[in-house]
């Protein structure tokens, strides 16, 4: 297509996928709202989500106007803002706007405007930061050595561990794992020697294995330690995942989620027919609403859209002939892929339940704006990818 007909070199396939996901989200919220508990009366989730999508579309347009390479000039400013906001939540300052929900201190609440979750925006900020570090390091060290690779790992750890720690103590296990997935995906494409990566993975597996061994050897003391710490929800969710029937309180949401998905069978019960009550169905558990109403066919349609989304992002990352652009898209692939896998996986007992929304579908202002900002960056990279006759 010529520049006259497609001036911005837009990826219409990616735009169409996001639009379809947005339509599914709005339709699902429209059918869910009448079934929500009385405490949500007057919340107008559908209207608010529509406004978030409109705001996200504006963010995409603004992002497209700026050459993505310019983001490198403000990377450290954005990183500083992100860390500062997380520190404010940690110290609960200012107390008037710090908001706590379900035991987690993860939001700022502004009267008349709603809540903002800094951890969501930190995901994209971290992608920008690590991508910038990778480009700077690889430009400085043309000849890769073990020393330079270890130095790069230390740099990545230095910028990723602070937000991971601050998000973990909120406590927000889901956000912590997404940050870890972003970091891991960028390490894989960083050029670091594979023997170093595999050594790091082995150390990590041994560490996790040691924790599991301690759990089974000393279940009482470990459980007591978790109950007295900010991670008290970890043990209950873990037990609720392994044995939901024997841990009815911790496993309640999982049991209801699987019952709703299973009751949809092949074609679903029909629009608006949701007989299984599930807490937070409009946010983290929206996949169960789709599965119950439209069955395996509807759920497969959503999964297919997500598959096409990830496939298209991978295509754009490979197509980019600029390292920084490829790193940006790769980090966002890690973010989207993990959240999709975790959210759907926790609904079918494949993974423990964590408070992670399903990208583009779940209700939420901060998350929706973050996902659309990420899509704006991807479209920006694609629009400025040059094609040469003799590559």
pLDDT confidence bin for 221, thresholds 50/70/90: confident
User: What is the spatial distance between Cα 357 and Cα 172, in angstroms, rounded to a whole number?
Assistant: 12
The pLDDT of residue 89: 93
Residue 126 CB neighbour total at 10 angstroms? 26
Q: What's the burial of 202, exposed, middle or buried (CB within 10 Å: 0-12/13-18/19+)?
A: exposed
| Cα-trace Rg, the chain | 22
- H or E stretch including 89? helix 75-90
Tokens of 112: 């008349």
pLDDT surpassing 90 at residue 217: no
Tokens linked to 262: 């299973």
342 occurs within a structural domain: yes
pLDDT single digits (tens) 178-191: 999 999 999 999 98
Q: Which two tokens stand for residue 162?
A: 């602070």
Q: Give the least confident one: 82-91, 167-176, 248-257, 377-386.
A: 248-257
Residue 250 lies in a domain: yes
For residue 1, being part of any structural domain is answered with: no
DSSP 46-64: HHHHHHHHHHHHHHHHHHH
Q: How far apart are CA 255 and CA 335, in angstroms?
A: 27
Would 375 be classed as within a structural domain?
yes
Average pLDDT over residues 123-141: 94
What is the sign of the dihedral through the CA atoms of 172, 56, 189 and 138? negative
Q: Please determine, for residue 358, whether its predicted confidence score (pLDDT) is greater than 80.
A: yes
Residue 7 banded pLDDT, cuts 50, 70, 90:
low
Locate 59 and state its tokens: 């963010």
Asked whether residue 34 carries a pLDDT value surpassing 70, the answer given is yes
Query: pLDDT at position 344, please?
Result: 94
Write down the pLDDT at residue 390: 55
User: From CA 57, how far away is CA 40, in angstroms rounded?
Assistant: 27
The mean pLDDT value of the chain amounts to 88
Ranked by mean pLDDT, which of 213-222, 236-245, 296-305 comes out on top?
Answer: 296-305
Q: What local confidence, expressed as pLDDT, does residue 389 receive?
A: 55
pTM check: above 0.75: yes
pLDDT above 90: residue 43? no
Six-digit token pair at 372? 């659309």
Does residue 99 lie within any of the structural domains? yes
Looking at the chain, the whole-number percentage of residues with pLDDT higher than 70 is 93
Q: 98-101 and 114-116 as β-strands: parallel, antiparallel, unpaired? A: unpaired
User: Looking at the chain, how many residues does it have?
Assistant: 391
Residue 252 has pLDDT above 50, yes or no: yes
In a domain, 7, yes or no: no
Q: Which two tokens stand for residue 111?
A: 């009267």
Asked whether 349 and 244 are in contact (CB, 8 A), the reply is yes
| Three-class DSSP category at 336 | helix
Task: Using a pLDDT cut of 90, give the percent of the chain over it.
Answer: 54
Given a contact cutoff of 8 angstroms between Cβ atoms, the answer to whether 21 and 309 are in contact is: yes
pLDDT higher at 148 or 385 = 148
pLDDT band at 274 (very low <50, low <70, confident <90, very high): confident
DSSP state of 199: H
Enumerate residues 6+ apart whose C-beta is below 8 A from 356.
174, 175, 177, 178, 284, 339, 342, 343, 346
Structural domains in the chain (count): 1
pLDDT at 230: 60
Give the domain range for residue 138: 12-383
338 in any annotated domain: yes
pLDDT digits (tens, 9 = 90+) for 276-305: 888 888 898 999 999 999 999 999 999 999
Within a domain: residue 194? yes
Beta bridge partners, 105, equal 100
Q: How much is the average pLDDT of 85-96?
A: 91
């Amino acid at each position: 297509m010529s520049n006259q007909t497609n001036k911005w070199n837009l990826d219409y396939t990616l735009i169409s996928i996001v639009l379809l996901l947005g339509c599914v989200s709005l339709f699902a919220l429209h059918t869910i709202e009448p079934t929500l508990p009385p405490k949500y009366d007057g919340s107008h989730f559908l209207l608010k989500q529509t406004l978030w999508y409109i705001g996200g579309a504006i963010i995409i347009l603004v992002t497209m106007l700026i050459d993505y390479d310019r983001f490198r000039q403000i990377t450290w400013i954005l990183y500083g803002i992100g860390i500062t906001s997380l520190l404010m939540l940690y110290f609960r300052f200012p107390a008037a706007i710090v908001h706590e929900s379900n035991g987690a201190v993860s939001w700022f609440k502004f009267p008349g405007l709603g809540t903002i979750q800094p951890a969501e925006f930190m995901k994209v900020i971290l992608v920008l930061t690590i991508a910038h570090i990778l480009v700077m390091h690889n430009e400085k060290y043309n000849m890769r050595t073990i020393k330079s690779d270890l130095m790069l790992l230390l740099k990545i750890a230095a910028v990723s561990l602070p937000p991971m720690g601050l998000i973990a103590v909120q406590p927000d296990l889901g956000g912590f794992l997404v940050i870890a997935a972003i970091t891991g995906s960028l390490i894989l494409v960083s050029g670091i020697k594979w023997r170093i990566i595999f050594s790091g993975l082995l150390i990590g597996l041994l560490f996790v294995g040691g924790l599991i061994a301690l759990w089974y050897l000393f279940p009482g003391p470990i459980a007591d330690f978790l109950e007295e710490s900010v991670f008290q929800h970890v043990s209950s969710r873990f037990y609720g995942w392994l044995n939901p029937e024997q841990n009815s309180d911790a496993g309640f949401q999982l049991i209801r989620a699987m019952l709703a998905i299973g009751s949809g069978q092949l074609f679903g019960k029909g629009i608006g027919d949701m007989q299984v009550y599930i807490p937070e169905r409009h946010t983290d558990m929206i996949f169960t609403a789709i599965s119950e109403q439209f069955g395996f066919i509807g759920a497969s349609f959503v999964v297919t859209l997500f598959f096409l989304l990830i496939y298209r992002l991978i295509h754009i990352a490979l197509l980019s002939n600029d390292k920084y652009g490829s790193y940006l898209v790769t980090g966002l692939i890690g973010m989207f892929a993990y959240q999709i896998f975790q959210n759907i996986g926790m609904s079918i007992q494949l993974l423990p339940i964590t408070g992670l929304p399903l990208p583009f579908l779940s209700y939420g202002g901060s998350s929706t704006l973050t996902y659309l900002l990420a899509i704006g960056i991807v479209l920006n990279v694609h629009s400025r990818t040059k094609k040469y006759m003799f590559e």
